[in-house]
Structure 1
């Protein structure tokens, strides 16, 4: 069975057209949407992380709250920019959120994406070492964080502690066993997917790839997944990896759906430019359920992934987005064998 979750960027805008006016609205509605997603039978609630923007940022308070309000669905990120992160604080916060959620945390991380400000990570106190890049710094932070999540002691205890210590070197607490195997790397290229596999992290691929070979988006992404799995097998990791892809999918089953997304029924892949060069953006899937089933059956990357994250227009509010999730779970997923 394919896992189906949502991915929210958590935008808010003080505009009459938005049902998410403030940061408080974005956070509280994110929690309510996760609860609603669990109720309609979805499998995951994932949240994007952007700094210096009117979007969701610091993820762990939100993840802990969602974990406390739900009981079954996976909760996660897609993705946290590791250039901004203190690896030890990250491990503490992630361990606490995972324990609150009962081991349901899935942490998508990456080396970052185009930012709202120039070198925003420097304002957080992190600057690449001489001769290294910001991507190198993100990977170094990731390496430390993952080592800490193993739960091995590394810190020398105080001989006169405030509270009694267990014997030996001390580890970061709270420790959540198994969380280290639930780290996903957000990869935008085939080469990065291979690197991700060698590191033993799961693969998270979105509706954007930062390279273009002239083939349709879903085929390029399927190649990325294939290379990831080959590299994983060559690395000899013991566990089975997981792979997620993101898509914008809108079944048109009401007049409201048609009003919002009727114009997207002829959507196509788009090629554009990002900071790193040419990139390809995957199309939006919108249409009557029968047509969606036919179109999605031809998406090679969705077929190759075990997890599908539906990008949701969160500014349309909880009720409408819960309706979209319900429509996919009830009208589309069963016909494709995902349920």
Structure 2
């Protein structure tokens, strides 16, 4: 069975046609959509993280709330920008959210995307070391985060603690056993996918790759998945890694669908420049269910991945986003994914 969840960027804007007028709206509706998705039989509720923007940002309060209000769906991020993170504090937050959810956290992390402000991570108190790029700093933060998630003690206890300590060096608490195996790296290229495989993380790939090899997007992404899996095996990691891809998919089944996304029938892959890199953007899928099933069956990356994340238009409201998710789940049954 292919796992199918949603990925929300959590946009909000004080516009009369937006269903999310405020940060409060988008946070509360994000919880409601996770509940609705679970009731429909979807498998995951994932949220994007963008700083200095009218979008979802600090993810852990939201993840904890979703975990407390749901029972089955995986909850996660796609992705947390590690340039901005204190690895130890993040490990505490992630451990707490995972324990509240009963071990359902699937945490997507990465170097991050183009920023809203210049070098925004510096405002959060993080500066690259001498000779280090911001991407290097993100990987350094990631390495420390993964070390802390192992649960090994590293901090010397006080000889006069306020409360009794267990023997030996101390770790950050709360610790959630198994969370280390549920960390995903959001890779934008085949090279970063290979690196993620060597590090023993799962692979998360979006609707954008920051490289152009002259191939259709889905074939380039399928190569990325293959490179990742080969690197995982070569590094000698135990078990089988997971892979996810994101897609914008809209079954056209009623007048609303045609009004909102009918023009996307003509969508194609695009090549452009983002953050200084020549990049490939995947197309939007919008068609009647039978045609949609035919198109998705030909998508090599969707076929190769075990998890499909649907980017949802959250500003159209919970009910409409749930309608989109339900429509895709129906198509998935026709494809034999469910």
Q: Do the two structures share a fold, i.e. TM-score over 0.5?
A: yes
Q: Is the 8 A contact 1:183 1:201 kept in 2?
A: yes
Please give the TM-score of this superposition, normalised by the length of structure 1: 0.99
C-alpha deviations, 1:136-158, integer Å up to 9, x for none? 00000000011000101111111
Aligned to 1:273: 273
RMSD of equivalent CA atoms: 0.5
Structure 1 unmatched ranges of 5 or more: none
Provide the C-alpha distance between the structure 2 equivalents of 1:263 and 1:274, rounded to a whole number of angstroms: 24
Other structure's SS at 1:250 match: strand
Aligned to 1:105: 105
Provide the C-alpha distance between the structure 2 equivalents of 1:276 and 1:233, rounded to a whole number of angstroms: 32
Provide the C-alpha distance between the structure 1 equivalents of 2:280 and 2:20, rounded to a whole number of angstroms: 29
Provide the C-alpha distance between the structure 1 equivalents of 2:327 and 2:112, rounded to a whole number of angstroms: 32
Shift of 1:276: 3.1
Aligned residues: 338
Q: Is the 8 A contact 1:272 1:278 kept in 2?
A: yes
1:183 aligns with 2:183: yes
Aligned to 1:161: 161
Other structure's SS at 2:144 match: helix
1:210 aligns with 2:210: yes
Aligned to 1:74: 74
Please give the TM-score of this superposition, normalised by the length of structure 2: 0.99
Other structure's SS at 1:333 match: helix
Other structure's SS at 2:232 match: helix
Other structure's SS at 1:265 match: helix
Structure 2 unmatched ranges of 5 or more: none
Q: Is the 8 A contact 1:210 1:276 kept in 2?
A: no
Shift of 1:94: 0.1
Q: Is the 8 A contact 1:34 1:66 kept in 2?
A: yes
Runs (4+) off by over 3 Å: none
Q: Is the 8 A contact 1:34 1:45 kept in 2?
A: yes
Aligned to 2:87: 87
Aligned to 1:238: 238
> What does 1:81-160 correspond to in 2, within 5 Å?
81-160=81-160
Aligned to 2:329: 329
Provide the C-alpha distance between the structure 1 equivalents of 2:227 and 2:22, rounded to a whole number of angstroms: 42
